[in-house]
Structure formats: C-alpha cells, structure tokens
Chains A and B, each alone.
Chain A
C-alpha cells in the first residue's frame, strides 16, 4: 500500500518538476520542489538530479532502490505556470490531497490560462517599442518597432506550434524581424520620414533574445550547479547564434544589393 502511494508521489513530483522546467524555472528550484514533494511522503533519502534537458530521481521504496528518468523538451517561458506549480507543491507537501484532486490540478497545470491573443500581441509590441524609446529612438522608430515586435511574436507563436527545431525556429525569427524592420524603414523612407534601421531592429530582436536563459544559466553556475548552468548557457549561446544568423542573412543581402 505504501509502495503505491510513494510511487504515485514520485510520479506526481516528477510531473510537476517537468512542467516547471519546461516553462523556464531555474534548475535549483525544480530540484528543491521535487525533493520536498517526495520527502513529505517518505523518510528514506531522496536524490534528485535536474538538467535543463532531463530529470533523474532516485528514491528507496521498502529498502529497494527506485529510479526514474524523464526527458524534458523545452517549451518556453510561462511565469503563470511556475507560480501555480509552486503553490501546488506547497499544498501537496502540507496536506493529504486525494488522487482525484492531484490529477485535476496537474491537468490544469498543463494548460495554464493565457492572455487573449489581441492583448498578447498588443503588449508584445509595447515591449519592443518602448525598448527602442529607452535607447533613444524617435517616435517613428517607436511605431515601426511596435508593429515589427508584434508580428515577430505572432510568427514565433505560430512556429512554436509547429514544433520546429529550436535553432531553425530562431533563425526564422531573426529573419522575420530583420526583413520586417528593413521593409518598413524603406516604406517610411519613401514617405520622407527618417528612421534608423539599426535602432528599429532592436525592438523585435529583444523579444527573441535569450536574456533569461543566459542570466539563469550564470546564476546556476554561480550557485555551483555546473552542468545545469553550462547547458542553459549553451542553449542561450546557440539561440543567439541562430538569431544572428537570421538577421545576418538579411543584412548581408542588403549590403550586397545596395
């Protein structure tokens, strides 16, 4: 009887950790959460090893070692899910949740509430647009960056649904943002308004730049999680390379043709 309870707890904990990791939680937080959730159901030691691509959990059931390994594909960044998973783990550790309640909450975690599409794209335009203003862009450049960021986030969402390889996806993202920015700068130039292409393109690029992975990776490295930190930083580096590749293709073409 105890065995099934413990096995269920382990699978629930791994599932929660997986959801957190997929949505951009730090490695140490995932390790802590899984450890806390399993430790609340057993007295024997629990070992948790988390990388950004997988989770390994070792526990003892009736003295017998028990290990599970799960691969974790990365999805993106979703803070709502992290917050919910975190509070779920707290409730799970404190009290006795029935099996049905746990199942319901887990399935809710897999499909978190999102902002409606128009709101999301309106605000993602704001993110890129005001970033351009913060670095001294003019009003025309703000408008262009707004439109470009909106469309870039929209197309990245479309690409994510298609489950492309992350490198290809980011090349396309860079390509789209650069093409849009250049095109719009030319259109605006035809209307006898000046806009600097270099300033405009930063807006849409900022919505793609792996700043969070990079900082989280360095944070992991500083706190001694060397493998997790390295994988995160490598991911960030390759996203940056892919973006540079995409933007570079467009820029190279422009330089060649003009």
Chain B
C-alpha cells in the first residue's frame, strides 16, 4: 500500500515538473511513467539497502533505461524523458538541511548533509550515464527487427 501511494505521488510530482519544464504535451505520460517507475525502485531499495547512494543510483539507471528506450521509440532526444524522471531523486532536502545547519552554526552536520547531497547528485549522473552507454551498446540489436524500435 505504501508503495502504491508513493508511486501515485511521484507520478503526479513528475507530471508537475514536466509542465514546469514545458515538456511536449504528448510525451508527458511516458516521462511521468518512467519517473514513477524510478521512484518505486528507489523506495523498494531504500527499505532494504544500507547505503544512501544505492537507491538513487539504481533508480536513475531505471529512469535512464526507460528514457533511452522511449527516446528510440518516439524518435526524440532521451534527455526529454530523463530530466523530469530524475527530479524526485535530486537531494532537495539535503541542500536545504545543509543550509539550515550552517545557519544553526552546526558546521560538522552541515558538512555531512552537504557531502551526502553531492554524492547523491553524482550517483544520479553516474546512473544516467551507465544507462545511456548500455543503450548505445545494444541499440543496433534493438533496431534490427522491424525497424520501429
């Protein structure tokens, strides 16, 4: 149940960000579905994984894979699907609390949260890059069939 509600929230959240970024209308459903899938993976991993990097990393690999495949299918640049999808992972809380701790004169805590946010951002980028490379590699095999995929 928790997963379902979280998936629902993330779907609506990603739709919202798609509109802010002025995503082409007909591509909004695909982009928000990929964002939702990534967030569900994130939540599932967060319950089991011990590292704070793994959920965002694997989640963005999923978003990247779905985005790249959708890009081939729709003949559009993949960024269009990936940018709204990775927004839920972006460490907004981390950035906010870093600032909060600095104002609180609690610099050691600020460094901890700031470092965490930076590493989450790096792991998101790595996940997307890995997905892109994988799809570049298998793309010739995908388009061998009827040419539509």
Q: Which of A58-117 contact B (CB under 8 A)?
A: 77-83, 86-87, 112, 114-115
Residues of A within 8 A of B126 (CB): 218, 222
Cβ-defined contact, B80 with A79, below 8 A: yes
Q: Which of A191-245 contact B (CB under 8 A)?
A: 198, 201-202, 205-207, 209, 211-212, 214-216, 218-219, 222-223, 240, 243-244
Query: Given A123-B19, A127-B20, A131-B13, is A215 in contact with B99 using a C-beta cutoff of 8 Å?
Result: no
Query: Given A127-B16, A134-B6, A244-B99, is A79 in contact with B22 using a C-beta cutoff of 8 Å?
Result: yes
Query: Given A206-B92, A248-B102, is A120 in contact with B124 using a C-beta cutoff of 8 Å?
Result: no
Residues of B within 8 A of A78 (CB): 21-22
Query: Given A202-B93, A215-B124, is A115 in contact with B99 using a C-beta cutoff of 8 Å?
Result: no
Look across to chain A and name the residue whose beta carbon is closest to the beta carbon of B114.
Answer: A240
Contact of A205 (CB < 8 Å), options: B39, B79, B96: B96
In the assembled complex, A124 has its CB within 8 A of some CB on chain B: yes
* Chain A interface helix/strand/loop/mixed: helix
* Chain B interface helix/strand/loop/mixed: helix
Look across to chain B and name the residue whose beta carbon is closest to the beta carbon of A125.
Answer: B16
Q: How far is the CA of A60 from the CA of B4 in the complex (A)?
A: 58
Cβ-defined contact, A126 with B13, below 8 A: yes
Query: Given A209-B95, A211-B87, A215-B121, is A83 in contact with B13 using a C-beta cutoff of 8 Å?
Result: no
In the assembled complex, A49 has its CB within 8 A of some CB on chain B: no
In the assembled complex, B61 has its CB within 8 A of some CB on chain A: no
The count of chain B contact residues (Cβ–Cβ below 8 Å) is 45
* In the complex, per-residue mask of B72-113: 1 if CB is within 8 Å of any chain A CB, else 0: 000111011001101110111101101110110000000000
In the assembled complex, A8 has its CB within 8 A of some CB on chain B: no
The count of chain A contact residues (Cβ–Cβ below 8 Å) is 55
The smallest C-beta distance from B12 to any residue of chain A, in angstroms, reads 5
The smallest C-beta distance from B92 to any residue of chain A, in angstroms, reads 4
Cβ-defined contact, A202 with B102, below 8 A: no
In the assembled complex, A25 has its CB within 8 A of some CB on chain B: yes
Chain B interface (Cβ < 8 Å from any Cβ of A):
6, 9-10, 12-13, 15-24, 27, 39, 75-77, 79-80, 83-84, 86-88, 90-93, 95-96, 98-100, 102-103, 121-122, 124-126, 128-129
Chain A interface (Cβ < 8 Å from any Cβ of B):
24-26, 29, 77-83, 86-87, 112, 114-115, 119-120, 123-131, 133-135, 153, 198, 201-202, 205-207, 209, 211-212, 214-216, 218-219, 222-223, 240, 243-244, 247-248, 251-252, 255
Residue pairs across A and B with Cβ atoms less than 8 A apart, 23 shown, are A29-B77, A78-B21, A79-B79, A79-B84, A83-B27, A87-B75, A87-B76, A112-B22, A119-B19, A124-B16, A124-B19, A126-B12, A127-B17, A130-B9, A131-B88, A133-B9, A205-B92, A209-B90, A214-B125, A215-B124, A215-B128, A216-B125, A244-B95
